[in-house]
Structure 1
Amino acid sequence: MSKRATIQHSTRPSVSRVRGAVLAAGLGASMVLGAGAAFASGTTSAPGTATLAAGATADSVAQQAEAQSKAATAAKQAAAKKAADAKKTAAAKKASAKKKAASWKAPVDHYELSASYGTGGARWAAKHSGQDFAVPIGTKVNAAHAGTVVKAGPNGGGDGPAYGNAVVIKHANGKYSQYAHLSKINVHIGQHVNTGQKIALSGNTGNSSGPHLHFEIRTTPNYGSALNPVSFLRSVHVSV
């Protein structure tokens, strides 16, 4: 072998050296890229952080939904109770009104009985047609039973001057109650009144020997159809 050939052979890179350089370059690139990837990944959240945040949000939504559900249930229960209370109150009022409409009472609260039904004498053209309740002038006069006012005014409401100021009330059972010798009338014809409602003040008007209320129970609104008022009141469980 010549000297020239020897020199050329010695300066040419061997295949193994070239392959080693390529592998080294590739490894270096891989390391650089890997480092970059690692660096980039270091800027993101750690594994599991997003999952924890999502779980916390879900818990918060669930708690809010539960609170809203409880509030809605409480509101519904309150509304139901209010409706039940209103229904109960209405029923109680209705029962009270029904009981009141069905009941009777004395026409005055505090009194002494004076001239009775059927009494005769010079003071009356015929026998006494009612029951007198001796009370001071200005005593409250109550409707003995619920009904409609059919007479109200002076001259006995149309029955004659002997009664003075008077009121007659028609009742659902076909009976009529009359209140006479009044000092003041507080109702008018056509007005509905309830049991115990104030309709007038007692007085001493008309043919009267002193302050009192003349009270009658009639089968018609007019004079001449009177029944014994005390007996009638007892029949409807009112003692006088």
Structure 2
Amino acid sequence: MSQRVTSRSFRTSQIRTRAAVLAAGLGASVVIGAGVAAAADTTAASGAAGAVQAQAAVQAKAAKAQAAQAEKAAQAKKAAAAKAAKAEKAAKAAAKKKAASWIDPVKSYKLSASFAQNGGRWAHKHSGQDYAVPTGTAVMAAHGGTVVKAGGNGAGDGPAYGNAVVIKHGNGTYSQYAHLSQVDVKVGQVVKTGQKIALSGNTGNSSGPHLHFEIRTTPNYGSAVDPVKFLRANGVTV
């Protein structure tokens, strides 16, 4: 009787032990499963964060490239503007140089008798422009060219001109300088714009010290045109 009770108690104890072990096993499985799920959630979150960072990096790189391109375009625009300004400056310099290719034949003057003016001192209308200056004032070539006339008796144009010089320029244009007190060039001599060629005076048919200046279409008397209009058309302020 006691042996049966003891055996039954032993089996009951074993059943209880197995049940406890099984319960413990199930609990451990639940804990492990929860850990695996948590780890999966962490990996997913990490992956999402990495994707956001990667996208942000791509966007930042694109923005940087766009900024660099904009900077390059701005520099190109600035360079183009500088080039245009340089070209404009060069054009102005060229225009100024062209304008300065003709000059007044004397400095510090007053205009007196003008072209085509009537008067008793001339057989016909006045053939040039008079510049009132003291005797001995430097007379300069109004433009570069070759001396074709030089000397007394109007250099061949008559005693009314006194001492005179005629210079041949391009395009069938000649300049004449008269009533000189001194002639400093010779026929055949090449002169530059602004080069001193004579001194003003009061020789020939003259009522006072001055320079008589003509622009001609030939080297001879009778082919004169208005010298003031001519000089102004070539950029000279008369």
Normalising by structure 1, we get a TM-score of: 0.58
Which position in structure 2 is the counterpart of 1:181? 179
| Conservation of the 8 A alpha-carbon contact between 2:99 and 2:234 | no
| Secondary structure in 2 matching 1:200 | strand
Identity, % of aligned positions: 76
Q: In the alignment, which of 199, 204, 207 is matched to residue 206 of structure 1?
A: 204
Q: CA deviation at 1:133?
A: 0.1
Q: In the alignment, which of 211, 217, 220 is matched to residue 218 of structure 2?
A: 220
| Conservation of the 8 A alpha-carbon contact between 1:120 and 1:126 | yes
Which position in structure 2 is the counterpart of 1:148? 146
Q: In the alignment, which of 131, 134, 137 is matched to residue 136 of structure 1?
A: 134
| Secondary structure in 2 matching 1:105 | coil
| Conservation of the 8 A alpha-carbon contact between 2:104 and 2:236 | yes
Paired residue type of 1:213:
L
Paired residue type of 1:210:
G
Q: CA deviation at 1:192?
A: 0.2
C-alpha distance in 1, partners of 2:99/2:232?
17
C-alpha distance in 2, partners of 1:213/1:102?
21
Q: CA deviation at 1:102?
A: 7.2
Q: CA deviation at 1:170?
A: 0.2
Q: CA deviation at 1:101?
A: 10
**Root mean square deviation, CA, Å:** 1.7
Per-residue CA distance 1:75-94 (angstroms, 9 max, x = gap): xxxxxxxxxxxxxxxxxxxx
| Secondary structure in 2 matching 1:136 | coil
C-alpha distance in 2, partners of 1:199/1:166?
10
C-alpha distance in 2, partners of 1:126/1:184?
26
Q: CA deviation at 1:173?
A: 2.2
| Conservation of the 8 A alpha-carbon contact between 1:101 and 1:145 | no
C-alpha distance in 1, partners of 2:99/2:183?
22
Paired residue type of 1:162:
A
| Secondary structure in 2 matching 1:166 | strand
C-alpha distance in 1, partners of 2:228/2:145?
19
Which position in structure 1 is the counterpart of 2:165? 167
Normalising by structure 2, we get a TM-score of: 0.59
C-alpha distance in 2, partners of 1:211/1:121?
18
5+ residue gaps, structure 1, are: 1-94
| Secondary structure in 2 matching 1:231 | helix
Q: CA deviation at 1:121?
A: 1.5
Q: CA deviation at 1:130?
A: 0.1
Per-residue CA distance 1:97-133 (angstroms, 9 max, x = gap): xx58970000001100000000012111000000000
C-alpha distance in 1, partners of 2:146/2:116?
27
| Secondary structure in 1 matching 2:123 | coil
Paired residue type of 1:238:
V
